[in-house]
A and B are shown apart, each in its own frame.
Chain A
Amino acid sequence: MTALLEVRDLSVSFLTSRGAVPVLAGVSLSVGEGEVVGLVGESGSGKSVTALAILGLLGEQGRVEGGEIRLDGRDLLPLPEREWLRVRGRQIAMVFQEPMTSLNPLLPVGFQVAEVLEAHLGLGRREALARAVELLRDVGIPDSGRRAQDYPHQLSGGMRQRVMIAMAMACRPRLLIGDEPTTALDVTIQAQILALLRDLGRAAGTAVLLISHDLGVVAAMASRVVVMYAGQVVEEAPARELFSAPRHPYTRLLLAMVPGVREKRSRLSAIAGSIPAPAAMPAGCRFHPRCPDAIPLCREAAPTLDAHGPDRRVRCWRADGVRP
């Protein structure tokens, strides 16, 4: 698979009243043509910042300190804003967690989908509105001609997320970034939206970078998984290998901490403490203060993200020595 998106050594910091705080430290990941990659991590791991950086949406507070973001081999970071406008929405689109805050409450949803078509594909108003109704139908909104005239508050959460997906897929983007796209939804509605994302992605050949804290969602969708912790990638592997034999202690604990619906565990594994704050990163391995397998080396030197086999990378000094 040729890499559609290639993020290399991306470092980002945010400007705060206390100076620049680094939030991403050398993040590398890639998404192949048509591939679904899961990006997993807890709050503060940097997964959403990674997504915003890929979209050039870090805002005034965010600053890229180094690295590259290549789409089809072209580095996006040096692009002027005018060029970004042609990438964002047309080649890379995004679906956020909360459709209510992503949609304009004062405009009918069909109009909002049509706006995307006018802006990116240059369609006229009438043509765009007609196409918007088709797009809403394609994302499974029944009676889409009439629902296109509804305002966001008249739709359920699931239907609003379908509208967001219609907007994101309007230009058949090469890459769709979903940042917790089903987290706010009920479980039966989540299953519908995941199936829709998978079907639409396949039909349009769109690659998906799926960001989620929910390992089940990622297991259901992704063929490859990237795990982040404290602003770094700590493990990357094909989904099947990652879930059957995690190599980084954090990944292993993450899997052991989630209760299962198909079996009952007597007690959950837990990690003491929480993700360190960006301004107070521990020396050495960033996970070492919470790691049950830490050795003195882990406190002293930061491990690098090393290849272990053809398509697995692990950031751990003991990746070869520690077995689950």
Chain B
Amino acid sequence: MREFTVGGRVFRAVDDVSFHVGPGETLGLVGESGCGKTTVGRLILRLLPANAGRIVFDGRDVTDVPERRLRDFRRAVQVVFQDPYSSLNPRLTVRDIVGEPLRNFGATRRAAAARVGELLDTVGLSPSYMTRYPHAFSGGQRQRIGIARALALGPRLLVCDEAVSSLDVSVQAQVLNLLADLQRQLGLALLFISHNLAVVRHVSHRVAVMYLGRLVEVAPEGILFEHPRHPYTRALLAAVPEVGPDALPPAVLPGEIPSPLDPPAGCRFQTRCPRAEARCRAAEPPLVEEAPGRFVRCYFPEPEPLRRVA
């Protein structure tokens, strides 16, 4: 759980969020603005302290471990950011950007440079680019540099926060394929945070859907996309415009996303939910594990799979 203070009022950006990511696994975390997905990423990275709850990495509770004793964790958990422009220091060469984590962990200048060459090769860039500055690269190349930096210390978990969202589709496809290759080669676990449902489906083994600070549904990828149970998940999927010759117009879910500063009482989705009843307004439903690995937070989960239009 994480609380923020805005204008003297405390609000909970993320509350009662529990999930795990297994070794070599990709968990997709999907949701719209204000759902708290980025806050979850930052909590896991220990870039923000949690107000309650626990973060356990490799069996070790790291929630309250002081920063100086987090070095192993910092090495094992790395991040790839959304914006490949603002996340690379324009005054440093690629060698220094990618080599910085290595130098922080005691590598000599020469050893770091050699490793940077390997890392650039791993992400599909020529090692000869080492002496260049970020401005010399395209958005996709910059994102590869950011990934090389994240890989420098041999992490086991990569938190990708909208890591392909600002890229053109051709570059997005390249980076998604690169992440898939890296996961296979290095056995990386990924926490893939994105608003893009199609991208999340593509990369994830399991998917968690957030709405206004809550997890509303968690399930294996195929099950979540074929048979979503929560009305919000269903509305979200129906709103995605489909590419194809017989694409149906996206279905409209009326209403605005309420401000996370002032969430509705009861179920947080009740103000927009087509199925909401008095019970939903009275008390928030718990996140129920209906089957192993399949969680839903709804009093009236949908029984039917999504209908396919032939």
Question: Would you call A214 an interface residue if the criterion is a C-beta within 8 Å of the partner chain's C-beta atoms?
Answer: yes
Chain A interface secondary structure, helix, strand, loop or mixed? helix
Question: Would you call B176 an interface residue if the criterion is a C-beta within 8 Å of the partner chain's C-beta atoms?
Answer: yes
Question: Would you call B62 an interface residue if the criterion is a C-beta within 8 Å of the partner chain's C-beta atoms?
Answer: no
A239 to B172, CA, bound (A): 24
Q: Taking CB as reference atom, which chain A residue is nearest B171?
A: A274
Question: Would you call B222 an interface residue if the criterion is a C-beta within 8 Å of the partner chain's C-beta atoms?
Answer: yes
A276 to B199, CA, bound (A): 26
Q: Taking CB as reference atom, which chain B residue is nearest A274?
A: B138
A195 to B252, CA, bound (A): 8
**Inter-chain contact B243/A219, CB cutoff 8 Å:** yes
**Inter-chain contact B222/A264, CB cutoff 8 Å:** yes
**Inter-chain contact B249/A198, CB cutoff 8 Å:** yes
Question: Would you call B242 an interface residue if the criterion is a C-beta within 8 Å of the partner chain's C-beta atoms?
Answer: yes
User: Given A213-B168, A219-B244: A260 and B198 within 8 A (CB)?
Assistant: yes
Question: Would you call A255 an interface residue if the criterion is a C-beta within 8 Å of the partner chain's C-beta atoms?
Answer: yes
A191 to B247, CA, bound (A): 13
Question: Would you call A244 an interface residue if the criterion is a C-beta within 8 Å of the partner chain's C-beta atoms?
Answer: yes
Question: Would you call B202 an interface residue if the criterion is a C-beta within 8 Å of the partner chain's C-beta atoms?
Answer: yes
CB distance from A275 to the nearest CB of B (A): 8
The residue that B170 contacts in the complex, of A159, A262, A270, with Cβ under 8 A, is A270
Q: Residue-by-residue, is A266-279 near B (CB-CB < 8 Å gives 1, otherwise 0)?
A: 01111110110000
Q: Kindly specify which of B15-23, B77-85, B232-240, B284-292 makes contact with the partner chain.
A: B232-240
**Inter-chain contact A191/B250, CB cutoff 8 Å:** yes
CB distance from B84 to the nearest CB of A (A): 13
Q: Residue-by-residue, is B218-237 near A (CB-CB < 8 Å gives 1, otherwise 0)?
A: 00011001000000000111
Question: Would you call A62 an interface residue if the criterion is a C-beta within 8 Å of the partner chain's C-beta atoms?
Answer: no
**Inter-chain contact B249/A194, CB cutoff 8 Å:** yes
User: Given A186-B32, A186-B33, A261-B201: A194 and B250 within 8 A (CB)?
Assistant: yes
The residue that A43 contacts in the complex, of B168, B201, B202, with Cβ under 8 A, is B168
Question: Would you call B177 an interface residue if the criterion is a C-beta within 8 Å of the partner chain's C-beta atoms?
Answer: yes
User: Given A264-B202, A270-B173, A271-B170: A187 and B240 within 8 A (CB)?
Assistant: yes
CB distance from B37 to the nearest CB of A (A): 12
**Inter-chain contact A187/B170, CB cutoff 8 Å:** no
**Inter-chain contact B256/A159, CB cutoff 8 Å:** yes
Q: Which residues of chain B have C-beta atoms less than 8 A from A241's C-beta?
A: 245
Q: Residue-by-residue, is A243-256 near B (CB-CB < 8 Å gives 1, otherwise 0)?
A: 11000000001110
Question: Would you call B257 an interface residue if the criterion is a C-beta within 8 Å of the partner chain's C-beta atoms?
Answer: yes
Q: Which residues of chain A have C-beta atoms less than 8 A from B139's C-beta?
A: 43
Q: Which of B271-308 contact A (CB under 8 A)?
A: 308
A239 to B249, CA, bound (A): 13
Q: Which of A148-194 contact B (CB under 8 A)?
A: 156-159, 186-192, 194
**Inter-chain contact B170/A188, CB cutoff 8 Å:** no
Q: Which residues of chain B have C-beta atoms less than 8 A from A188's C-beta?
A: 32, 235-236, 239, 253, 257
**Inter-chain contact B168/A220, CB cutoff 8 Å:** no
Q: Taking CB as reference atom, which chain A residue is nearest B249?
A: A220
A214 to B198, CA, bound (A): 12
The residue that B140 contacts in the complex, of A156, A186, A195, A274, with Cβ under 8 A, is A274
Q: Which residues of chain A have C-beta atoms less than 8 A from B248's C-beta?
A: 220
Q: Which residues of chain B have C-beta atoms less than 8 A from A253's C-beta?
A: 170
User: Given A42-B170, A257-B170: A194 and B235 within 8 A (CB)?
Assistant: no
Question: Would you call B63 an interface residue if the criterion is a C-beta within 8 Å of the partner chain's C-beta atoms?
Answer: no
The residue that B257 contacts in the complex, of A42, A189, A257, A265, with Cβ under 8 A, is A189
**Inter-chain contact A220/B241, CB cutoff 8 Å:** yes
Question: Would you call B254 an interface residue if the criterion is a C-beta within 8 Å of the partner chain's C-beta atoms?
Answer: yes
**Inter-chain contact A255/B243, CB cutoff 8 Å:** yes
**Inter-chain contact B239/A268, CB cutoff 8 Å:** no
CB distance from A6 to the nearest CB of B (A): 27
**Inter-chain contact A243/B177, CB cutoff 8 Å:** no
Question: Would you call A240 an interface residue if the criterion is a C-beta within 8 Å of the partner chain's C-beta atoms?
Answer: yes
The residue that B240 contacts in the complex, of A216, A257, A274, with Cβ under 8 A, is A216
Question: Would you call A259 an interface residue if the criterion is a C-beta within 8 Å of the partner chain's C-beta atoms?
Answer: yes
**Inter-chain contact B172/A257, CB cutoff 8 Å:** yes
Question: Would you call B251 an interface residue if the criterion is a C-beta within 8 Å of the partner chain's C-beta atoms?
Answer: yes
Question: Would you call B246 an interface residue if the criterion is a C-beta within 8 Å of the partner chain's C-beta atoms?
Answer: yes
Question: Would you call A297 an interface residue if the criterion is a C-beta within 8 Å of the partner chain's C-beta atoms?
Answer: no
Q: Taking CB as reference atom, which chain B residue is nearest A267?
A: B177
Q: Taking CB as reference atom, which chain A residue is nearest B239?
A: A191
Question: Would you call A119 an interface residue if the criterion is a C-beta within 8 Å of the partner chain's C-beta atoms?
Answer: no
User: Given A267-B177, A268-B176: A254 and B256 within 8 A (CB)?
Assistant: no
Question: Would you call A217 an interface residue if the criterion is a C-beta within 8 Å of the partner chain's C-beta atoms?
Answer: yes
**Inter-chain contact B243/A215, CB cutoff 8 Å:** yes
User: Given A192-B254, A253-B170, A267-B177: A219 and B32 within 8 A (CB)?
Assistant: no
Q: Taking CB as reference atom, which chain A residue is nearest B181?
A: A267
**Inter-chain contact A187/B32, CB cutoff 8 Å:** yes
Question: Would you call B125 an interface residue if the criterion is a C-beta within 8 Å of the partner chain's C-beta atoms?
Answer: no
The residue that A216 contacts in the complex, of B201, B241, B253, with Cβ under 8 A, is B241
The residue that B195 contacts in the complex, of A187, A244, A275, with Cβ under 8 A, is A187
Among A187, A189, A270, the one with the most B-chain Cβ atoms within 10 Å of its Cβ is A187
Question: Would you call B169 an interface residue if the criterion is a C-beta within 8 Å of the partner chain's C-beta atoms?
Answer: yes
CB distance from A144 to the nearest CB of B (A): 14
Question: Would you call A258 an interface residue if the criterion is a C-beta within 8 Å of the partner chain's C-beta atoms?
Answer: yes
Q: Which of A200-232 contact B (CB under 8 A)?
A: 213-217, 219-221
Besides A213-B168, A270-B177, 17 other A-B contacts (C-beta < 8 A): A187-B250, A188-B253, A191-B252, A195-B252, A215-B243, A216-B242, A220-B247, A221-B249, A243-B247, A258-B169, A259-B201, A261-B240, A264-B202, A264-B225, A267-B177, A274-B140, A274-B168
Q: What 5 A-B pairs are tightest by C-beta distance, nearest first?
A: A216-B241, A259-B202, A244-B245, A186-B32, A191-B250
20 contacts between A and B (CB under 8 A): A42-B169, A187-B32, A187-B197, A188-B253, A190-B250, A198-B249, A214-B241, A220-B248, A220-B249, A241-B245, A243-B244, A243-B245, A254-B170, A260-B198, A261-B201, A264-B202, A267-B177, A272-B174, A274-B171, A275-B168
